Each structure stands twice: as C-alpha cells, then as structure tokens.
Structure 1
C-alpha cells in the first residue's frame, strides 16, 4: 500500500467539506451581472456534489446509490452552468437523465444482478461513464465560448478533459478488474479522491476567473468602442481602420478598398457653415454604414471629408457595384449644394483591389492599397467628380450623364474651387 492507512469515510467527508466551501465561495461571489446565474449554478453544483460525496462516505442500505446520483446531478448542473455561460438554454431532460439512469442501474437492475450472482466491481462502471459524458459536454460548452472565457476557460477545458479521461479509464478498469486485482487497490481510490479534490477546487477558481474576466471586458467594451469610433459619424476611426485593414490583408487573398470623397466640401462649408457641414458628413457616414452588407466589411472615416469602405473577398466587379450603390444612396439624400454643378452633394470614389496573385500578408500591402485608392480617387476628381475610377485597367463607368455644353463654364469654376 502506497498511502498510510486512513479512515476512508473520514477522508471523504473532509474532502466533501472543502468542496462545499468552494461552492459557497462561488455563491457569495456571483454578483448581479450577466454571469451571476452560471456562477450560482456552479456553486450549487459543488455543494450538491459535496453532499453526494459525504452520503457515499457514510452509505448503508442503498445510500451509496443516492450519493452517486447526487454527484451525477452536480456534474449535470455544472454542464448546465457552462451552457448558460455560453448563452444557451438548460436541458432539464438531459440533466435528470444521467442520475435517473444510475438509480435504475444501482437499484432494480443491480438487485437483479446480485440475486443472479453476477454483481461485481464492474457494477459501478456507469457512474464513472455518465460522469465522464457530462464532463466532456461541459468542456465542449466552454470551448464554444473560448474567446470570452479567456485563458481561465482554456485551462478549465483542459482540466475537464483530463478529468473525463481519468473517469473513463476508471470505468474501463472496473470492467477489466478481477477479484484481488491491483485495479481494486485502496491506493487507486485515494488517487481518485485526491484528483477530485484538486480538480474541483481548481475549477472553482477558474470559473470565478472566467466570469470576472468577461465582466471586465464587458465593462470596458463601451470605452473600447468609443476609442475606435469617429466622434462625428459613429463610423470606425483611423486607428480601427489601420488595425482592420492590416488583419484583412493577412487573412484575404482578394479584397477591395473604396476611398470616398465628398465633392466640393470646402465650398459647402463656406456657403452653409460648419454645423450644416457636420450634418452633411453625418448623413453621408450613415449612408456608407448602411452600404455595409457582409461580415468583415467596414466603413470608416479616413479624415476630413474622406471615407473608406473595406470589402474583404470582393473583386473589381463587386467593388464597382458597391460604388454604384453608394452613389445612389448619396443621391437619395438630396442634400442641396449650390456650389456643386448638380446642385446637390455628390461623391467621387477611387477603387483599389488586391488579387489572389499578390503576396498574402505582404507588409506594405495596406499602404499600397491606400495609395492605389487615392490615385484612383484623384483620377475620378480630375475627370469631373461624381464618378468612380479604379487603378490600372479597371475603369469604372461614369455614373452620371455628361453635363450639357452650356454648363461647362460652371463645371470649370467648380473644379477650380
């Protein structure tokens, strides 16, 4: 025997008290935030598991079966807490299925096996197998929210997986064990008790760390959004654009970038004042935001009256179609502008694209995209504004009819503005 002789029931009761105290800590730490429910469930699960362990320690006349059922119910509640943490609903039927199956096995089925002389160490196998199933399900739920759970969640997932493997190994050993086998040694039981204690205490602190970490992130989220948003338009600001563009270049072989400039905006400010100018930019920013359709796309204010629309996965044709949509949205705003030849606010758009033969993740790719879009925008403005142009051979169509000849002098004056 590896360990010195110990009174097993006393050891189990002492372990149960420590586990119950850990559960009480979780209950008292639950707070009132989004994760108060999952944290309370984890606390209740630990206390219930401690009660089941204590009941097993003093078992007689079938008490061991009820102790095992309580432990399985605690494991099922831990799984439910993980589901709630992941934003999913509880499954009452599955919560009760494991404990009920164990009671059926340990009661009527077990009595029948004992009368037939077939009972043996393997009779306890289901309690370990069912517990392992709930534990694996808990690990999978935490993995579902691994980004929100953070490092504590990843460690908890690892501990749960190891705990499940140990339980499955114990279930297999009970099937393989014969009378007098070392697999039935009291030392094995001591190892299982020690592992259960360390596992439970570790999970208690990890669950607490997970909920606190997520609560801190949620509290900081409004500040983070504010730091990455343009104060006037509510679109992404330059800092967020730079971060998102760099990530998009790394992750996409093909993408498009649209640089949008409000035509004759200085004349608009000079004519109507800065407050109407701000209102104009807000309206255009809203229109650009509404043009964002797919996950990963982003509209940002680049500076002054310039905006950026980032389209990961888009080719030249898709970019031109989106530019047409933007022109249509700006036209629908019908913002009067006496200093613009059409008599309303218009925009010019330059398109830059990244194709599959470009080097993925190239360090200078974001700057090159911005330069190409800026050059295309300059070409659109040089050709008369209120139109779209792309780099190289990509030539966007003129999206508005040519002006009548008698308006050409007005156009020349507008160009010089």
Structure 2
C-alpha cells in the first residue's frame, strides 16, 4: 500500500520539484505488537519545493485517518519542558489577547491531551479543542477540557461559529504542518475567527532544519516545512496577513506565526527581520536545499559506519526516545535490532511494542536503568538537556551518548 502522490503545490497549485528522497517509510507512530504479522503500511517519503510560492512540502500524502486515530500514542504532556511551555503560552494569551474581552473564546487545533487547554480550563476561559485522536482526546476531557473529535476544516469550524460564536484566538502547536488540506483549514479559520482575532501556530522551522541538518523533522505527519516567506505567501492567498513571528527553542527549533485578517493589524517589526534573515541565508532556495540533501546523505553514511564499528567491537547500543522522528532515521539508514538492541521511551502506549518499520523493541526507562548499554543513540535530541540531566548516572557509569544532529558524534 502506498500514499497518494501529488505533483502540484497544495497551497498555490504550482509545480513541486523534489529536493530530498528519504525512501520507503512506515507510519511514524505505528508501534506494533511484536507478534503482529499483519501487513504494514509504507509510503515513499520525499520532500519538494514549490517553484512558485517556495513552500517546502511532502510529495505524497498519507490519509489522515491512518495517522490520527483512537490509538495515536503521542502525549504533549510527556515532557516537563513542553508542559511548562504550554502553561506559559496559555497564560500569555490570557493576559494579552483575551484580557478585557467579554466572555473570550479560545480554540486550539490539535489539542492532544490538553497540555495547554488545562490552563485555560483552570482559569475559567471559554475554550474548545479539536482533537480527532480519540485516546488523547479522552485524556484531555478527563482534565476538564472541552474537546471535539472532529478534524478542523471549513465545515466543522463554521459549525462551531454557529454554536459558540467567534473565536478571539485560534491556536495550534505542531499541528498545522500536519494538514495538507490547507485551503479548507484556512477557510475554516476565516469563518471562525473574530474580526480582530488572531490565528497563531507554531511548527518546526525550515531555517532551523537546514542549519541543524535535522532531517528527521521530515516524516509522514509533517507535510509542510514552513518558513516566514512561504507562510506569508500562504496567508495572503487566503485573505490573511502575517503580523507576528517568534522563534522558539522547543522541538529542535520552531517559529510561532501569528496571522490576522488582512488590514486588521500592523505587522510587527520581527516579521520583516525574519524575512530579511531568510533572504540573506537563502532559506528555501534550491541551492540551500541541495546542500541539505547532500549533508543528510553524509549523516546516514557516518551513522551507519559508527554503529557497525561499535557492533564489531562488541559494544552495546540502545536508542533513547521512540519518537516519530526516529522512524525516519532508522528506516532511512537501515538501522534495526542488530545495530540498536532496544529503544527506551517513557510513553506507556509505546512500551513492549516495536518501532515502525525497523521493529526495534521499545522498553521502559526502568529497563534502561537495569540494562544499561555502552552507548545510547539519542533519537529525542530535541529534549537533550532534559534527558541528559535525568540520565546523569548513565554517563557517570561510563555510558556515552551518540547524536546525529547537526552531525554524527559521540558526546
């Protein structure tokens, strides 16, 4: 089974030129039971650049129901850093955009387990989260969050406007880049958003991905790789204006983009600064993307060489963090249980299963503590500070960390 290929840009309809081929890949969050011998869904993972609007995007689309469903395992609250980030974000909106309004209404697209909306609920703010993955939606409801299990699109957004009134803020974290059907999404935002409201979303930033060679930010769920230039073009096409940008350190480097209806707000100076920086750096230019693809191939060679050398020397290697990103790395590089014996992860829904495609066993942190390898391959590199602090004893006992962003090295 394969995904649906697209030769045209999902934003403007322009031609898309392929810039990176990461090969045959599984669903990045499909953690199977070890005894599951049923067919496994694979697709070709490749990224391309629109010649017209410069939007970088996948060249094939995986059906959304295959990725976001009842058993979707990711939990936004799994990281202390992200819990703090979402609490600060919620309080920030409560103190600015929502302050002084009569019965303000806050909507989140892709609220997951309610990591952010718990704060809104606790503050008594009218809110609604869209979360089609039923399992995590149930967790959010258990924390007092109002959740709809519909996908956010034009029809569902219009229905919410009819029943709840306009939204003062529509927000999304690590979600908008997941949605290939952007026309319906932005028409939904236009239908639901108050005239003076804002639509803010934060997603992995193409500028950081290129600088760090973090190719594992590319996987089935990350359909778009945004930069300020492409987001501005997208916004204008649907009657919005890019009025704010903020670079964020979370998840390996993101940008929070703020859109408003055209003419409703004056763009912040930070927008022009980031656009100028992108022009200087050549972000989304064909030359930068070609250099990135070459660097990715080098990382694959270096990582495989290192793991094979360690195996030949009788050293044990385990992975740390059964992330969606790690599926890209293991399958692109051909890393299986022969090179990485298991992967440690804190998510109960992933433990005692095997990683997508590569079928490496996933174990608990307790297993890691009792079966310490000589080396740990840090798949969750975007949480490095948090993980290295938590696993200090591993390093003190002689364990070594391997990372591959921005290059392969032993820490």
Q: Which has the higher contact order (CA 8 A, sep 6+)?
A: 2
Q: Normalized against structure 2, the TM-score is what? A: 0.26
Q: Which has the greater radius of gyration? A: 1
User: Greater share of strand residues, 1 or 2?
Assistant: 2
